[in-house]
Structure 1
């Protein structure tokens, strides 16, 4: 056995010098899938398709947003109760490579659509999403989150997200416990309760 190993050592050394591994290392997507399955799926569902409105859907989310939020949890920049209870401890387990692999994995999962609600309410929400509330200085949601609410960079995908989850985020922006997005803090303080419900109903149906 020692003679066989000794015979192979020069070849192994040459492969290592050339940067070629005998056993391929897991890709970033494979790492993300493994971490998601072991740690995240219990709350966020298989492939990020959360079924509980307590936890957001992560499938098809922008990688930049996922990275930013995981780092925000890890650094305690998000202080709402759900963040403290569920995400501070989880995020503390993730190094930079794990954060990036999760962001890459979830961003490549197919999007899913939420349930439609009251047509009149959704129509009001669509109007606010596309045009804002000009008399209150509220910009169109689409100007940051994309025409189809698909997200753009650190501005998250909102299409298909749970209505209840969206409303809860507006609440934590309003009460200041989520303070890592100044634009949304200003918008949340300006929207009325009915306007917020309308936008959330529209976005869930996308």
Structure 2
């Protein structure tokens, strides 16, 4: 849980900038926009969620050889600073080429699939996929990253936050998974004029 003291530490971007240049920028970019679709966009991600994920990587609750090593020596104040830095960056979205597939994804995101027991994604992640303090922003995330995470949840290969997401993701067909991932990748944050 973020405290007032940790939020004030996160408000100073200088310590975070040094860590980003040393550890984060090659994969996630200096502004959190990720250099490849296999890495998540961190720009605009919810601060409390980022803190939890970074701590989970550091403490071995979430497994990733690269991330576990990258954050192994970070202290809580450094993690708070990184989360504050990336959450303050403006999120972007992707242009959607396959509108028909995205419309399938929108249907599942908004209404779920009553025939297979999949709840509407928006019931947890919000109608604009902005998440909450504890849940990730999905809007504008790379399609491939979302699809990979849904698959990992479905297979229980994701080692944290798996209880609810396994129940949902394990019921998704490949078409549904790809459609939802495509749809959320194109959701524009409020105030964004053009998708990137």
TM range, smaller chain: 0.7 to 0.9
What residue in structure 2 maps to residue 195 of structure 1?
176
Task: Output aligned runs, 1:2-81, within 5 Å.
Answer: 28-79=12-63
Displacement of 1:119 in angstroms is 0.7
Displacement of 1:184 in angstroms is 0.9
Displacement of 1:27 in angstroms is 5.3
Q: CA deviation digits over 1:33-65, x for unaligned, max 9?
A: 222222101110121011301111000000111
What residue in structure 1 maps to residue 115 of structure 2?
135
Asked if the contact 1:56/1:161 (under 8 Å) is kept, the reply is: yes
- With structure 1 as the length reference, what TM-score do the two structures score? 0.82
**Structure 2 unaligned spans of 5+:** 1-8, 188-196
Higher percent of residues as helix:
1
Corresponding residue to 1:113 among 75, 93, 109: 93
What residue in structure 2 maps to residue 174 of structure 1?
154
- With structure 2 as the length reference, what TM-score do the two structures score? 0.86
**Larger radius of gyration, structure 1 or 2?**
1
User: What is the CA–CA distance in structure 1 between the aligned matches of 2:38 and 2:79, rounded to whole Å?
Assistant: 22
Displacement of 1:100 in angstroms is 0.4
User: What is the CA–CA distance in structure 1 between the aligned matches of 2:45 and 2:178, rounded to whole Å?
Assistant: 22
Range moving further from structure 2, 134-143 or 27-36? 27-36
Asked if the contact 2:10/2:84 (under 8 Å) is kept, the reply is: no
**Structure 1 unaligned spans of 5+:** 1-24
What residue in structure 2 maps to residue 100 of structure 1?
80
User: What is the CA–CA distance in structure 2 between the aligned matches of 1:37 and 1:147, rounded to whole Å?
Assistant: 34
Asked if the contact 1:179/1:185 (under 8 Å) is kept, the reply is: no
Asked if the contact 1:125/1:195 (under 8 Å) is kept, the reply is: yes
The number of residues matched between the two structures is 178
1:133/1:92 CA distance change after superposition, 3 Å: same
Displacement of 1:135 in angstroms is 2.3
User: What is the CA–CA distance in structure 2 between the aligned matches of 1:27 and 1:136, rounded to whole Å?
Assistant: 44
Displacement of 1:136 in angstroms is 2.1
